[in-house]
């Protein structure tokens, strides 16, 4: 089983594209910050891990429409680590995630990037039929 769940903030606005067959695909980066114990000086230690996120079809359209840089989201999907060689010839690894579910955590009416603890808007699945988008609370 390959399943990953992440909560983080978009590092850039989603970029929407379409395959030659007309299938929507959106890509964006997601920053996930882990807080670990305290350092020897008593400061809280944090580590930010970056993930490359992609979504397909209707979920891609929704992400493109409602997410922007700084938005806080919960995403669920599969992890696809990828090795590549950068421009300087150094081998690197990228953490790519193809999502099947997404929940917007930035409260309605609040600026992306600022957070309110425990605020949740809407959970959306790639398989969910949305019908009229105006009927949803976001």
What three-state secondary structure class fits 133? helix
What pLDDT, on a 0 to 100 scale, did the predictor assign at position 38?
76
Cβ 36 vs Cβ 47: under 8 Å: yes
CATH architecture label of 4-33+46-122 = Beta Barrel (2.40)
Q: How far is CA 96 from CA 19, 68, 137, in A?
A: 19, 19, 29
Tell me how crowded residue 111 is: count the other CB atoms within 10 A of its CB.
11
What does the pLDDT average to over 56-79? 96
Give the confidence band of 57 by pLDDT, cuts at 50, 70, 90. very high
Nearest-angstrom CA–CA distance, 73 and 110: 14
Res 126 pLDDT > 80: no
**pLDDT range class, residue 110, cuts 50, 70, 90:** low
Q: How many other CB atoms are there within 10 angstroms of residue 64's CB atom?
A: 20
pTM for the whole structure: 0.72
Query: Is the pLDDT score of 122 beyond 50?
Result: no
pLDDT, mean of residues 4-33: 96
Q: What per-residue confidence (pLDDT) applies to 46? A: 86
Residue 6: count of CB within 10 angstroms of its CB: 19
The overall average pLDDT reported for the chain is 82
**Alpha carbons 104 and 93: distance in angstroms, whole number:** 28
Give the model's pLDDT for residue 111: 60
Q: What is the dihedral of CA 95, 96, 101, 106, to 10 degrees?
A: 60
User: How much is the pLDDT for 112?
Assistant: 59
């Amino acid at each position: 089983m390959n399943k990953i769940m992440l909560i983080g903030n978009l590092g850039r606005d989603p970029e929407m594209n379409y395959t030659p067959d007309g299938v929507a695909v959106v890509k964006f980066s997601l920053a996930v910050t882990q807080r670990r114990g305290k350092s020897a000086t008593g400061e809280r230690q944090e580590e930010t891990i970056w993930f490359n996120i992609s979504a397909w079809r209707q979920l891609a359209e929704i992400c493109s429409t409602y997410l922007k840089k700084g938005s806080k989201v919960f995403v669920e999907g599969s992890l696809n680590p990828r090795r590549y060689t950068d421009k300087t010839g150094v081998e690197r690894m990228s953490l790519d995630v193809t999502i099947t579910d997404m929940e917007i955590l930035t409260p309605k009416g609040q600026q992306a990037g600022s957070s309110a603890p425990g605020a949740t808007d809407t959970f959306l699945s790639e398989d969910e039929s949305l019908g009229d988008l105006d009927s949803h609370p976001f």
